[in-house]
Amino acid sequence: MREIPLTKDGFEKLCSELEYLRTVRRKEISEKIKVALSFGDLSENSEYDEAKNEQALVERRIVEIENMLKNVKIIDQSDLDTNMVLIGNTVKIKNIENDEVFEYKIVGTNESDPKEGLISNDSPVGSGLLGHEIGETVVIDVPAGRLNFKILSINRSWRMVRPRCFGFIGLVDFQRYFVVDIFSLYPHIWGKDN
């Protein structure tokens, strides 16, 4: 299996998800199975079938995460070069055609979330930016055609504040504070809305 690049943030998220699945979800599904068994005849017991299917999905995800963690390469963001786009850097780019500005953090495939500004190093834009420097104009082929981006800045603005494998994950952005868990973002957690 090939090496899986993850930022510390992505590693922490995977560890938290694994712990959640092992401790919380397994117990919840076990309870569902017990309740379904109490209904009797399993041949026509849709609750039992549904709980067993859910159990299979959770167990498959646990194995998937365990396998990923065996092959992970953690990107140390404190060592990142900010002269060139690398996995773990935050990059501000401008679309030359319409002057629209975007800011993305380049991450490994397993932690990408474009809605949150996390793009994969294997995506067309992520892979197209890798290795380029501030001021360069990069031509990137995407499914919709060809895009021209100018790299405005490269930084490592996000860092871990409470690193540990199981539990709360905190990230600090120099502009605002927020908490990340495996389900959602909660801005304003420390009273900073902007």
> Looking at the domain assignment, is residue 14 inside a domain?
yes
CATH of the domain at 23: 1.10.287.180
User: Average of pLDDT values for 60-67?
Assistant: 93
Of 74, 105, 125, the one marking the end of a domain is 74
Of 54, 74, 94, the one marking the end of a domain is 74
In the predicted structure, residue 187 carries a pLDDT above the cut 60: no
User: Average of pLDDT values for 39-68?
Assistant: 89
Nearest to 88 by CA among 120, 53, 116: 120
- Looking at the structure of the chain, the number of domains it has is 2
Domain containing 120: what range? 83-155
Do 97 and 132 lie in one domain? The reply is yes
| Cα 193 from chain centroid (whole Å) | 22
The pLDDT tens digits of the residues spanning 65-104 come to 999 888 888 877 677 778 899 888 899 999 999 999 999 9
> Looking at the domain assignment, is residue 163 inside a domain?
no
In the predicted structure, residue 180 carries a pLDDT above the cut 80: no
Q: What is the pLDDT of residue 151?
A: 95
Do 43 and 95 lie in one domain? The reply is no
In the predicted structure, residue 191 carries a pLDDT above the cut 90: no
Do 150 and 91 lie in one domain? The reply is yes
CATH of the domain at 108: 3.10.50.30
Q: CA 80, CA 82: separation in Å to the nearest integer?
A: 6
* Summary mean pLDDT of the chain: 79
Do 169 and 158 touch, CB atoms closer than 8 A?
A: no
